[in-house]
Amino acid sequence: MNFQRKQFPFSEYEAVWQRRWVEEGAFRALNPGEPDFDATRQKFYILDMFPYPSGDGLHVGHVEGYTATDIVARAKRMQGFNVLHPMGWDAFGLPAEQYAIRTGRHPRETTNTNIAKFRSQLQSVGFSYDWTREISTTHPEYFRWTQWIFLRLYHSWFNPETRRAEPLTTYHGDDPDAVRLAYVAEVPVNWCPGLGTVLANEEVVDGKSEVGGFPVERRPLRQWMLRITAYADRLLEGLDALDWPEGVKLLQRNWIGRSEGASVRFSVVGQDAEIEVFTTRPDTLFGATYMVLAPEHPLVKKITTAGRRPEVEAYQQQAAARSDLERAELTKEKSGVFTGAHAINPVNGETIPIWIADYVLMGYGTGAIMAVPAHDERDFAFAQKFGLPIREVVAGDGAAGVDQAFVGNGRAVNSGFLDGLSTAEAQRAMITHLEATGAGRGMVTTKLRDWLFSRQRYWGEPFPIVWEGGRHRPLEETELPVVQPEMQDFQPTGTPEPPLSKALEWVRYSENARRETNTMPQWAGSCWYYLRFCDARCSSRFVGREAEHYWMGNRGVDLYVGGTEHAVLHLLYSRFWHKVLHDLGEVSSSEPFHKLVNQGMILGTDSHKMSKSRGNVVTPEHVITEFGADSLRLYEMFMGPLEQMKPWSMKGVEGVYRFLARVWRLAMRENAGGQWELSPALSNTPPTLPQQRVLHATIKKVTSDIEAMAFNTAISQLMICTNEFVNVEPRPLEALRVLLTLLSPMAPHICEELWSRLGAAHEGFPGHASTQPWPTFDPALLEVAEVELIVQVNGKLKDRIRAQRDADQEAVLDAAHASPKVREAIGTGQILKTIHVPNKLVNLVVRPTA
For residues 574 and 537, the answer to whether their CB atoms sit within 8 Å is: no
User: What residues numbered 501-560 form the site for RNA, per CB under 7 A?
Assistant: none
What one-character DSSP code corresponds to residue 769?
Answer: G
Question: How far apart, in whole angstroms, are the C-alpha atoms of residue 122 and residue 595?
Answer: 24
Please say whether the dihedral angle defined by the alpha carbons of residues 173, 179, 183 and 187, taken in this order, is positive or negative. positive
652 binds RNA (CB under 7 A): yes
User: Nearer Cβ to RNA, position 22 or 251?
Assistant: 251
369 binds RNA (CB under 7 A): yes
365 binds RNA (CB under 7 A): yes
Separate counts of helices (H) and strands (E) for the chain: 27, 36
User: What residues numbered 398-457 form the site for RNA, per CB under 7 A?
Assistant: 445, 447
Q: Report, in Å, the least distance between residue 820 CB and RNA.
A: 11
376 binds RNA (CB under 7 A): yes
Out of 185, 654, 676, 759, the only residue in the binding site for RNA (CB under 7 A) is 654
Backbone angles phi, psi at 824, to 5 degrees: -65, -40
Q: Pairing state of beta strands 337-344 and 394-395? A: unpaired
User: What residues numbered 323-342 form the site for RNA, per CB under 7 A?
Assistant: 327-328, 330-331, 334
User: Nearer Cβ to RNA, position 116 or 361?
Assistant: 361
Please compute, for residue 284, the number of CA atoms within 13 A of its CA located in the half-sphere on the CB side. Answer: 29
Out of 40, 651, 779, 820, the only residue in the binding site for RNA (CB under 7 A) is 651
723 binds RNA (CB under 7 A): yes
Out of 361, 483, 761, 782, the only residue in the binding site for RNA (CB under 7 A) is 361
User: What residues numbered 282-311 form the site for RNA, per CB under 7 A?
Assistant: 294
The size of the chain, in residues, is 850
User: Nearer Cβ to RNA, position 102 or 833?
Assistant: 833
User: Nearer Cβ to RNA, position 213 or 767?
Assistant: 213
| Three-state SS at 130 | coil
User: Nearer Cβ to RNA, position 39 or 835?
Assistant: 835
Out of 246, 272, 783, 810, the only residue in the binding site for RNA (CB under 7 A) is 246
Q: Pairing state of beta strands 841-847 and 786-793? A: parallel
What one-character DSSP code corresponds to residue 490?
Answer: -
What one-character DSSP code corresponds to residue 487?
Answer: -
Q: Report, in Å, the least distance between residue 255 CB and RNA.
A: 7
Out of 32, 238, 647, 829, the only residue in the binding site for RNA (CB under 7 A) is 647
For helices 733-743 and 748-761, the axis angle rounded to 10 degrees is: 150
User: Nearer Cβ to RNA, position 306 or 672?
Assistant: 672
For residues 832 and 849, the answer to whether their CB atoms sit within 8 Å is: no
Please say whether the dihedral angle defined by the alpha carbons of residues 194, 195, 198 and 201, taken in this order, is positive or negative. negative
Q: Which stretch binds RNA (CB under 7 A): 156-164, 264-272, 340-348, 634-642?
A: 634-642
Beta bridge partners of 605: none
User: Nearer Cβ to RNA, position 31 or 722?
Assistant: 722
Q: Which stretch binds RNA (CB under 7 A): 187-195, 268-276, 459-467, 832-840?
A: 832-840
Beta bridge partners of 412: 394
Q: Three-state secondary structure along 573-635?
A: HHHHHHHHHHHCCCCCCCCCECEEEECCCEECCCCCECCCCCCCCCCHHHHHHHHCHHHHHHH
User: Nearer Cβ to RNA, position 294 or 482?
Assistant: 294
Beta bridge partners of 215: 208
Q: Report, in Å, the least distance between residue 827 CB and RNA.
A: 13
User: Nearer Cβ to RNA, position 53 or 604?
Assistant: 604
| Burial (0-12, 13-18, 19+ Cβ within 10 Å), 761 | exposed
Q: Which stretch binds RNA (CB under 7 A): 72-80, 152-160, 491-499, 794-802?
A: 794-802
Q: Number of residues in contact with RNA, rule: CB under 7 A?
A: 81
For residues 653 and 635, the answer to whether their CB atoms sit within 8 Å is: yes
User: What residues numbered 659-718 form the site for RNA, per CB under 7 A?
Assistant: 659, 661-662, 710, 712-713, 715-716
User: What residues numbered 173-202 form the site for RNA, per CB under 7 A?
Assistant: 202
261 binds RNA (CB under 7 A): yes
521 cis-preceded (ω within 30 degrees of 0): no
User: Nearer Cβ to RNA, position 122 or 572?
Assistant: 572
Q: Report, in Å, the least distance between residue 634 CB and RNA.
A: 10
Residues 6 or more apart in contact with residue 646 via CB below 8 angstroms:
600, 602, 603, 639, 640
| Three-state SS at 334 | coil
User: What residues numbered 267-286 form the site for RNA, per CB under 7 A?
Assistant: 278-281
User: What residues numbered 90-149 form the site for RNA, per CB under 7 A?
Assistant: none
Residues 6 or more apart in contact with residue 184 via CB below 8 angstroms:
177, 222, 223, 224, 225, 472
User: What residues numbered 341-360 form the site for RNA, per CB under 7 A?
Assistant: 358-360
Out of 285, 637, 639, 702, the only residue in the binding site for RNA (CB under 7 A) is 639
Q: Which stretch binds RNA (CB under 7 A): 124-132, 187-195, 463-471, 638-646?
A: 638-646
Question: How far apart, in whole angstroms, are the C-alpha atoms of residue 651 and residue 660?
Answer: 14
